[in-house]
Chains A and B, each alone.
Chain A
């Protein structure tokens, strides 16, 4: 499983001098002490089967896990833990569980912690339930164990909602299970009735069977089918008969007609049809909801709510930990390295670095100086900072963006949902036809009037029609999940199939947010290749984002005495000479020009250099590295496929003009918009929508969240900002853009299959209705027609679950 050059635990590339530990009788290399410690603990706990069972590498373990002391605070536990026998129970989210073996490991590891009564981990939803005895252990102890294994705990949405979620799921399972049992039993009894083809069964026996079937199917129709009945009632009260009305109408009709026939000793009963229909629909609905439930559970897990506490500095310089709600404007707070800023404020330190990826999607830390504004939700990097709070709660930039998301979602152009319209129309037509036919027969042949009406209603029972959409959606969601696209909102597929324009964000979407070395300008007696090798040697163990750009240099020499200067650069010895790499100010003493400079320090007092834009400072600049954002590997291919699918493409970025134009031409996108604020992006999409376009937006950052919410359909990149994913309809779970055209293909196939299903269901009804009205349809023929049309629709939908024969070819 592990290449020799990768960490045994997390599979990441090894640093120059890896940590080592003896696992399985052999010495293994690890990328960091955190991973090595985790592996050592797993070995000592005899849990090393984990490495054999897992199907995905573990997450990297941070050696310096954050303090978990806040988890022991009573004001936190009060809202999130509940009392159980012998202790308390809490549900936490974690982002490190990647396969079932992780859940297995978490269960075993927690079971070994003293004071933990019970635990259950679920890799699919990323949730861990822990019951512990507060008298024997504080909660932070088992959580520290989790963090040390690489599973950092985050707060779930609250105990009440977690419990409601579980109860909801259990109720749905119960309904399906009981509907299944009831349906099977009703079918068995119905079979006895069907097999009596010659009508030889004595009447009392027949009626006995019918009453038994009635007994079994009634709870299925009313209890298991309750969601449909309640939905239909709501639709009727709102005077908008829709899909639920159709479903409830069908099942109630088959059930009521059968009951009536049982009472008056008629020719045929349709209990089996009623229960099968309820069962199949419940399954289709549950499959679709489960796919979406998993998607939203993962998005939820990504939202990473933390225990929200801030460190406030008091007038006498002492510190106290307070809930974020308790912060007031004018307070001074301290933000530790890696912690998020609790509220908007101004910086009091001379200089600090903040990662604003939550707001902008850019992962490189941004330097801020004293007096600069700092926004809530950004993370402090490199060294701790002090801020004076200027805005709290709803006044922060973060809250403002969240509000923009909500507003944009509420103002989405309404695409009337096709099936709902059809349902309304169908119910009305059927009612009119039924009344007309009954009236006609009543006048001409009163004796047969009721029988014909019953046959008409049963044969035109819109089972196939109401199965057409859910069955196709259930199959399509399965297909989407296989290509790594999670569908969060129900109408996403239909909207995606209608899209005419696709708007891309640049940073983190078409590009992967990582820097790529664009060019090297070497001067003063050093070859470009040598400069690159020295730079790679110095940057090798640096955690700075730019270091990744040097990672593919394989023949780097060894650097000694490497010292990182936060926010400025790295200094170290390579082949006996002292080198500095970093900002121009740090390396050469010149002025910052955005590029990275490499300079030998032993001859620093030699002549200045004449490179354009450089200084005439203390040392000769040896080389200048210019970086540009790297494109995602498959971005160009995805863009090409989308264009082949007939979509108009746009690029909209907050970045400067030049890089945006460069990206657009590299990708072959004509319409490029640079320097766009979140509001500006939204305006661009609104403009397109006014021209009658249906816009799909692909983005990743929180600055994209409003436009993701405002576009007709939106796709968020899986490794982007959590809030962007909450605003999106579809989340790409991998980082591959190739899933976008693939999802488009599935959406269009789904639309085609839904249309085929609807056409089939309609065709069947158009054919059957006149025959039934003419009194030519016998009750058993009606039952057969109803079953066959439903089966045909289901079988057609299942084609979606298989990969398309021409997956690449649009249409």
Chain B
């Protein structure tokens, strides 16, 4: 049963790592928005996103 003396501290180490990753994720806002990222994968990025030319569409609106 001596193997336990190695395995149990190892499991504690793993849970420590898991906890650290979780803390990191929360601190870095990974849980802030749980809805939008789901949509990102549905869309292919266009080759190069051009910025639209017009600056104020208040003008065409008037």
Chain A positions near chain B (C-beta within 8 angstroms): 33-34, 37-38, 40-41, 44-46, 49, 53, 63-65, 100-101, 103-104, 107, 112, 114, 120-124, 144, 148, 166, 170, 173-174, 177-178, 181-182, 185, 188-189, 202, 205, 208, 212, 215-216
B58 near A148 with CB under 8 A, answer yes
Q: Which residue of B lies closest to A123 (CB)?
A: B35
Residues of A within 8 A of B26 (CB): 170, 173-174, 177
Closest Cβ of chain A to B10, distance in Å, is: 12
8 more A-B contacts (CB under 8 A) besides A46-B50, A107-B36, A216-B15?
A40-B57, A44-B53, A100-B39, A103-B35, A104-B40, A112-B51, A177-B22, A185-B11
Whether A174 contacts B15 by the Cβ 8 Å rule is: no
User: A33, A182, A188: which contacts B60 (Cβ < 8 A)?
Assistant: A33
The contact sample of 22 A-B pairs, CB cut-off 8 A, is: A37-B57, A37-B61, A38-B57, A40-B57, A44-B52, A53-B42, A65-B58, A100-B35, A101-B39, A103-B33, A103-B35, A103-B36, A120-B32, A120-B33, A122-B35, A144-B58, A170-B27, A173-B26, A185-B12, A185-B15, A205-B1, A215-B12
Main secondary structure of the interface of A (DSSP, over half): helix
Q: Which residues of B contact A188 (CB under 8 A)?
A: 11
Looking at the assembled complex, report how far the CB atom of B54 sits from the nearest CB atom of chain A, in whole angstroms: 7
Whole-angstrom distance between the alpha carbons of A63 and B39 in the complex? Answer: 29
Which residues of chain A come closer than 8 Å to B46, judged between CB atoms? 46
Question: Which of A104, A124, A170, A178 is close to B19, meaning CB atoms less than 8 Å apart?
Answer: A178
Q: Contacts of A121 on B, CB cut-off 8 Å?
A: 33, 36
In the bound complex, residues from chain A placing their C-beta under 8 Å from that of B22 are 174, 177-178, 181
| A49 surroundings in chain B (CB, below 8 A) | 42-43
Contact A205 B4 (CB under 8 A): yes
Return A1 CB to nearest CB of chain B, in Å.
16
Q: For residues 1 through 48 of chain B, which have their beta carbon under 8 Å from a beta carbon of chain A?
A: 1, 4, 8, 11-12, 15, 18-19, 22-23, 26-27, 29, 31-33, 35-36, 38-40, 42-43, 46
Contact A100 B36 (CB under 8 A): yes
| Residues from chain B with Cβ under 8 Å of A114 in the complex | 51
Whether the Cβ atoms of A45 and B40 lie closer than 8 Å is no
How far, in whole Å, are A170 and B24 apart by their CA atoms in the complex? 11
B contact set with A: CB distance below 8 Å:
1, 4, 8, 11-12, 15, 18-19, 22-23, 26-27, 29, 31-33, 35-36, 38-40, 42-43, 46, 49-54, 56-58, 60-62
Cα of A37 to Cα of B62 in the assembled complex, Å: 10
**How many angstroms from the CA of A46 to the CA of B45 in the assembled complex?**
9
Q: Do the beta carbons of A212 and B18 come within 8 Å of each other? A: no
- How close is B39's CB to chain A, nearest CB, in angstroms? 5
Contact in complex: B18, A112 (CB < 8 Å): no
Expressed in whole angstroms, the Cα–Cα distance for A212 and B9 within the complex equals 9
B34 to chain A, nearest CB (A): 8
A38 to B4, CA, bound (A): 65
Cβ-Cβ contact count across A and B, 8 Å cutoff:
103
**A46:B33 contact, CB within 8 angstroms:** no
B49 x A46 contact (CB < 8 A): yes
Complex alpha-carbon distance, A46 and B56, angstroms: 18
List the B side residues contacting A37 at CB < 8 Å. Answer: 57, 60-61
Smallest CB separation, A76 vs chain B (Å): 22
Question: In the assembled complex, how far is the CB of residue A122 from the closest CB belonging to chain B, in whole angstroms?
Answer: 5
Shortest beta-carbon distance, B26 to chain A, in Å?
5
Chain A's closest residue to B18 (CB) is: A181
Bound: A216/B11 CA distance, A:
11
CB-CB under 8 A for A122 and B32, given A44-B52, A205-B4: yes
Residues of B within 8 A of A64 (CB): 61-62
**Contact of A45 with B51 at beta-carbon distance under 8 Å, contacts A34-B61, A63-B61 already known:** yes
Return chain A residues, CB-CB under 8 Å to B58: 63, 65, 144, 148
Question: Which residues from chain B contact A202 at a C-beta distance below 8 Å?
Answer: 1
Output the residue of A37, A112, A123, A144 with the most chain B CB within 10 A: A37
Q: How far is the CB of B44 from chain A (nearest CB, A)?
A: 9
A271: min CB distance to chain B, Å: 15
Flag if A104 contacts B61 (CB, 8 Å).
Answer: no
Q: Which residues of B contact A182 (CB under 8 A)?
A: 15
Q: Which of A34, A45, A123, A174 touches B49 (beta carbons < 8 Å)?
A: A45
Question: Given the complex of chains A and B, what is the CA–CA distance between A723 and B24 in angstroms?
Answer: 39
Residues of A within 8 A of B62 (CB): 33, 63-64
Q: In the complex, how many angstroms separate the beta carbon of A543 from the nearest chain B beta carbon? A: 16
With CB as the reference atom, state the residue of chain B lying closest to A201: B1
Q: In the assembly, what is the distance between CA of A120 and CA of B26, in Å?
A: 16
**Contact A45/B52 with A40-B57, A103-B33 known, Cβ cut-off 8 Å:** yes
Chain B positions within 8 Å of A53 at CB level: 39, 42-43
CA distance A202 to B4 in the complex (A): 13
Across-interface contacts of B39 in A (CB, < 8 A): 53, 100-101, 104
CB of B1 within 8 A of CB of A212, answer no
Complex CA gap A181/B29 in Å reads 20
Known contacts A37-B61, A46-B49, A170-B27; is A104 also within 8 Å of B36 by CB? yes
The chain A residue sitting closest to B9, CB to CB, is: A212
How far, in angstroms, from A41 to B15 measured CA to CA in the complex? 49
Tell me the bound Cα distance from A44 to B57 in angstroms. Answer: 12
Residues B49 and A112 in contact, CB atoms below 8 Å apart: yes
Measured CB to CB, the closest approach of chain A to B14, in angstroms, equals 9
From known contacts A53-B43, A64-B61, A212-B8, infer whether A100 and B38 are also in contact, taking CB-CB under 8 Å.
Answer: yes
